[in-house]
Structure 1
Amino acid sequence: MKKSFKYQLNAVAMALALSANAWALTPQDGTPDLSLFIPGSQANDPAFGFLVKNTVVANAVCLDKALPGALSGTSANTDTTTHIYFNYLSGSPTAAINDNYSAIYCYTDDTKIPGLTTGDASNHHKTKLWISRRRLGASYIGLNAVAHPTDASAVLTYLADPTTAGCTAINGSYSTGGSTYQWNYSCSTVSATGTANGITGNIPASAATSDITPDVFYAADNVALPPAGSTLNYAPIQPGQIPTANIHALGGHIIGVPVTLVLRNALQYAEISTGQLPSTCTVGNDTNPDCMPTLTKQQLTSLFTGAVSDWSQFQITATKTLYDLIAAAPTGSGVSAPLDTQVHLCRRENGAGQQVAVLANLLQYPCLGSTAPELATPQSAPYTDVEYATSLGAVDKCLADFNDGTNGWFGTTNPSPYPQPPCSSAVSSCTTKHGNQWALSIQTTERNATNGANYRFIAIDGAAPTGEAAYLGHYPIIGTYALSWNQANVTANQHLALNAIAAYSKLPATIASRNNSLSPQLFGQAGYLSLVDNGFQPPLVWNTSNPTTPYSRLDSGNHPNACVIPTVNSSYGQAQLF
């Protein structure tokens, strides 16, 4: 297809800008000296050095930071050797996204990675480093590639390297979930090349990121399902398959329960009307955590399992249900009767880390063994509208469609074997009426900080999903996100690089920086916590510059464990009471 003159002119300008910058590291500089292939959760992406909202809030191992518009030709923006690479699925390179694949190409050296032996030995082992991330398939898929490296299911595609990924030098930005993510190169080609671990065509995973530690990925709901007709065998991750010495708990991930805006307003109205929220609160208040509506852990467990499938099952008085109260609300109250009263659940696919964290912390699955309640499926909860939103972006769009009646997720397709969204075959002729419906899901509190999407987080047992409430031990859904690898299956330099990334990512200052930039929700600071279990001293009272929780989740072997009930770390022995 012939490109426009304007497109060609932009490409020439970018090429000239790159040639003017003698230090620029580009695909023309050849293959990397050191590569890290890291599938799994997005939880640690900011610490790798990716651009979010036009800035790099943390930078573990690159010598300099990526810059938005780094290929624009202005000296202010080209003064960096680090560039961000996104993948575009089809159409124009301007349509790149990071939902599936992304990468960073930068210089590093032994001041960033102590002990590094690759690269230029005369200059601190200055090394061309390629960090390739794969978010497709979420936490389990990444952990599986580390735990079962010789299995066919470990064969994953990535942006293999900057020279073969079909990359175009073009600045761009991708918006999703209330945030924007910038790139400098847009790449068309993903592949799994080479031979490793006995599998031809396999790029071995160097490590995996997960929203919760690997110890609970043995249960059925936490193991991904293979595509229909596939011979792949996604097996449970058993103790010892990833050495505990290489499981690095990086921080506490505050995970929220988002609901459609119309549901948030309905709950807010009901709780104000009945005195559960202060009379000074108004429907639509987004800024005061005291005005945030709440559900209990038991109520949420009932919704997530399908035990409650209709909102009219929740009583307000002996004669009025939640629906009755909202349907009778006067004009101008900020609420109206929903399209229906069915519970609409935008759940994630099996093995999605944030969902696994909700299961462990809220449903205590699989921690209670056979007595633990299980997450709803269309088969187990036929009266709940159970929908599969198979990415963070899909969750945003699923909730938006149920709220607004749009077709951002309706009419799309899910990966096999998960059920398809409504109208997946032809959204233009879809007869499934939707919009103004009460739906809920699972989402990181790092998203929708600007309320750009029409969903809102709710409180649990009166505690808002903020860093302070989590630090106090009031908010219950905290996933210990991790970086895990097997030292026996990586090179010495990869092992050193991963250790450097883990050490940097754990720092309270690193976590505080990303919180301040990315998670300042209108109702309070959300995002992440640093861990007392990593040897950091918690403040005596909540402090955003040292967001270290005093609560420990170490088991009897002194290893992080998602099923351990948090208790005050005995090495410090202090916790703020209220």
Structure 2
Amino acid sequence: MKKNIVTAALGAALIAGFSGTASAWTPSDVPDLRINMSGATAMDNSITSLFTSLCDAGTLHSYFNDGPNPGNRYRAFFCTLSPDKVDGLSASQKVLFVKRSAGGSAQGVNPLIDQQRLEAMNIFNNNCTLSPSDTDPNRYLCSISNPGDLELRYSDIGISDVDAKMFRGVNTPAGFNPVNPESAEDLDSVSVAALIFGVPVNNALYDALQTAQRGEGLLPNDCTIGEYAREECIPSLTKQQVASLISGTVKTWDDFKIDGIPLTQYPGVTPLPATRGSKFVRYCKRVNGSGTGAQQYAKFLHNPCVSGAAQPMQSSNVSTGPIVIQNSGSGDVELCLNDYELGINNTGANTGFFTPTTKAWALGTQSLEKNADQAWPYKFVRIDNVAPTLANAFNGKYFDVVEMTYQWLKPGVNKLPACEGEHLATCGPQPPVGDIKVIIEQMRTEASEPSVVASILNVKSNYPFGKSGYLAPAIPFATDASFTGILNENAPIWPYTHDLGAGINNCVVPTIPSAVVNKPLL
């Protein structure tokens, strides 16, 4: 396998690949090859970069579902891939790569095991209109609301924020069976990079926490309200506080106290609107089956890892609070936090129980490849006084880090026979073979390479308080003799792993593999 092809080609591919339309493939063209991926939304930015950087210059058109946050549920990329960039490809081909993000990580696990088709975006239904953006002049926006805009497809590959065995209990997506150790064996699963997650709060809540914690001497006196650049000025929540908020035991912000004073009444905190329910805790959570949700429940509630663990709240109590908003994807979490910051209703959740729409304090869950440019009005808080940075994850100080996986169906486990035309009910899914397998392997290999992690996966993870995002996995990179035990942000490696000998298990406390010679212990 060629190493770091993506890194070497990144600049040309991402600039020239978007620079012209003469050779780019449109809905009037027929692909030679189609790849269907479903699963994690936390990685949408990196998947976009990984695939598009493989495209031949000038051949790419991208397709995002329309709406207030384009691409939050479906994306597609149509371009030419050639053996020059994809080692082992049989010939240059027009490849359509379709990514379903709706529903989150479990859609890249449970439907593969249950061998069920999923709705995928169809760009050939006269539903896509060229709508350039500032960063993508060859972007189409596609309707997904009319008959034929979505079509049923088997996924060739799934991607999840956490290992497949996590999708049981509260993490089981609606309409599918929970994963058990036996059914997990139907999948070939490979780990890719480790990803940092955090707790986002809308700006109004961020400012309130910052005001109160500065007033209590927990933050330096010279921190300005809203400041996000200095790590020591970022307000902090404890693991126990987050657990109490997301499990619903804290129902209203009047109950959230700083030195005995309700946060809503702390001197200097901007009061919430005097509307019904405005002080209720709002939790912009993810739907069951989200890997982003699963990692938060595992890290903060130990669910489903420990019998009897607290459950994440699933429904609202409109009389006493809290209010729970179920979000299909990470883009929907952004809309949710935005709604409560601005008092609008793009999600449809900021109304109904309460009229009119209201501004409120809200928290959620999100990966650290989101909103580094602060385009949305939310920020990440510290957890136990530790910020979600590459440095803190590398040194073992920040704990909310998980290892992601790609998976696909093993040969010989399909329940239905293969046949031509995957839309037929009598046709079963097939493991990726040939050029599809070659492209998937290229993406998986590149996604694990430390230099690619820095140059592609982390390009949207430069936060005011420091670099964050992804780190290459400990195995094999930290166990290599070249590993120095010192963080290199240009080729970051996570020296810890959730693989204690039986595969990735994000329920366990990660440790440094014994084969790591230069252990980065402080």
TM-score between both structures, scaled by the size of structure 1: 0.75
Measured at CA, do residues 61 and 292 of structure 1 come closer, stay the same or move farther in structure 2, by a change above 3 Å? closer
Structure whose alpha-carbon radius of gyration is higher: 1
Give per-residue Cα distances to partners, 1:163-207, cap 9 Å, x unaligned: x34365624229xxxxx66643344479999xxxxxxx8521101
User: How far off is 1:111 after superposition?
Assistant: 4.4
Give per-residue Cα distances to partners, 1:136-181, cap 9 Å, x unaligned: 12111231221111xxxx2222234x6x34365624229xxxxx66
User: How far off is 1:320 after superposition?
Assistant: 2.9
What is the match of residue 120 of structure 2? Answer: 158
What is the match of residue 336 of structure 1? Answer: 270
Q: Tell me the secondary structure at the aligned position of residue 98 of structure 1.
A: coil
Separation of aligned partners in 2, 1:96 and 1:366: 31
What is the match of residue 415 of structure 2? Answer: none
Measured at CA, do residues 392 and 245 of structure 1 come closer, stay the same or move farther in structure 2, by a change above 3 Å? closer
What is the match of residue 423 of structure 1? Answer: 351
Give per-residue Cα distances to partners, 1:367-386, cap 9 Å, x unaligned: 11x22111012279963222
Measured at CA, do residues 115 and 260 of structure 1 come closer, stay the same or move farther in structure 2, by a change above 3 Å? closer
Measured at CA, do residues 323 and 167 of structure 1 come closer, stay the same or move farther in structure 2, by a change above 3 Å? closer
What is the match of residue 393 of structure 2? Answer: 470
User: How far off is 1:356 after superposition?
Assistant: 0.8
Separation of aligned partners in 1, 2:45 and 2:207: 32
What is the match of residue 162 of structure 2? Answer: 212
Task: Extract unaligned runs of 5+ from structure 1.
Answer: 1-16, 51-55, 66-79, 90-94, 118-124, 175-179, 194-200, 226-232, 330-334, 413-420
What is the match of residue 480 of structure 1? Answer: 403
Separation of aligned partners in 1, 2:160 and 2:177: 17
Q: Tell me the secondary structure at the aligned position of residue 295 of structure 2.
A: helix
What is the match of residue 555 of structure 1? Answer: 500
Separation of aligned partners in 1, 2:324 and 2:485: 43
Task: Give the counterpart of 1:170 among 122, 130, 133.
Answer: 130
Contact 1:61–1:501 under 8 Å retained in 2? no
Letter in 2 for 1:156: L
Contact 2:46–2:457 under 8 Å retained in 1? no
Contact 2:45–2:457 under 8 Å retained in 1? no
TM-score between both structures, scaled by the size of structure 2: 0.83
What is the match of residue 309 of structure 2? Answer: 372
1:39 equivalent in alignment to 2:12: no
Letter in 1 for 2:155: A
What is the match of residue 143 of structure 1? Answer: 109
Q: Tell me the secondary structure at the aligned position of residue 346 of structure 2.
A: coil
Measured at CA, do residues 269 and 47 of structure 1 come closer, stay the same or move farther in structure 2, by a change above 3 Å? closer
Give per-residue Cα distances to partners, 1:195-249, cap 9 Å, x unaligned: xxxxxx8521101111222121022x10122xxxxxxx31112224344872121
User: How far off is 1:252 after superposition?
Assistant: 1.4
Separation of aligned partners in 2, 1:36 and 1:266: 46
Give per-residue Cα distances to partners, 1:472-511, cap 9 Å, x unaligned: 1111211322211114222421223222211111111121
Letter in 2 for 1:449: A
Measured at CA, do residues 62 and 190 of structure 1 come closer, stay the same or move farther in structure 2, by a change above 3 Å? farther
What is the match of residue 397 of structure 1? Answer: 335
Separation of aligned partners in 1, 2:40 and 2:238: 27
What is the match of residue 421 of structure 2? Answer: none
Measured at CA, do residues 252 and 182 of structure 1 come closer, stay the same or move farther in structure 2, by a change above 3 Å? farther
Contact 1:568–1:574 under 8 Å retained in 2? no
Task: Give the counterpart of 2:153 among 183, 188, 203.
Answer: 203
Q: Tell me the secondary structure at the aligned position of residue 141 of structure 1.
A: helix
User: How far off is 1:397 after superposition?
Assistant: 2.2
Instruction: State, as a whole percentage, how many aligned pairs show the same letter.
Output: 28
Measured at CA, do residues 380 and 216 of structure 1 come closer, stay the same or move farther in structure 2, by a change above 3 Å? farther
Contact 1:158–1:192 under 8 Å retained in 2? no
Contact 2:161–2:292 under 8 Å retained in 1? yes
Q: Tell me the secondary structure at the aligned position of residue 563 of structure 1.
A: coil
Separation of aligned partners in 2, 1:311 and 1:181: 41
Counterpart mapping for 1:143-542 below 5 A: 143-149=109-115, 154-160=116-122, 164-166=124-126, 168=128, 170-173=130-133, 183-188=138-143, 202-219=152-169, 221-225=170-174, 233-243=175-185, 246-317=188-259, 320-324=261-265, 326=266, 328-329=267-268, 335-339=269-273, 340-368=278-306, 370-378=307-315, 383-409=321-347, 412=348, 421-423=349-351, 431-435=355-359, 437-488=360-411, 489-493=430-434, 494-514=436-456, 516-536=458-478, 537=480, 538-542=483-487
Letter in 2 for 1:375: P
Separation of aligned partners in 2, 1:98 and 1:293: 31
Measured at CA, do residues 295 and 107 of structure 1 come closer, stay the same or move farther in structure 2, by a change above 3 Å? same
What is the match of residue 414 of structure 2? Answer: none
Measured at CA, do residues 28 and 348 of structure 1 come closer, stay the same or move farther in structure 2, by a change above 3 Å? closer
Separation of aligned partners in 2, 1:518 and 1:181: 15
Separation of aligned partners in 2, 1:241 and 1:62: 33
Separation of aligned partners in 1, 2:336 and 2:402: 23
1:545 equivalent in alignment to 2:490: yes
Separation of aligned partners in 2, 1:485 and 1:474: 33
Q: Tell me the secondary structure at the aligned position of residue 301 of structure 1.
A: helix
Separation of aligned partners in 1, 2:97 and 2:52: 11
The number of residues matched between the two structures is: 474
Measured at CA, do residues 185 and 543 of structure 1 come closer, stay the same or move farther in structure 2, by a change above 3 Å? same
Give per-residue Cα distances to partners, 1:66-98, cap 9 Å, x unaligned: xxxxxxxxxxxxxx1222123347xxxxx9931
Separation of aligned partners in 2, 1:26 and 1:563: 44
Measured at CA, do residues 311 and 27 of structure 1 come closer, stay the same or move farther in structure 2, by a change above 3 Å? closer
* C-alpha RMSD of the superposition: 2.9
Separation of aligned partners in 2, 1:33 and 1:379: 48
Separation of aligned partners in 2, 1:407 and 1:191: 23
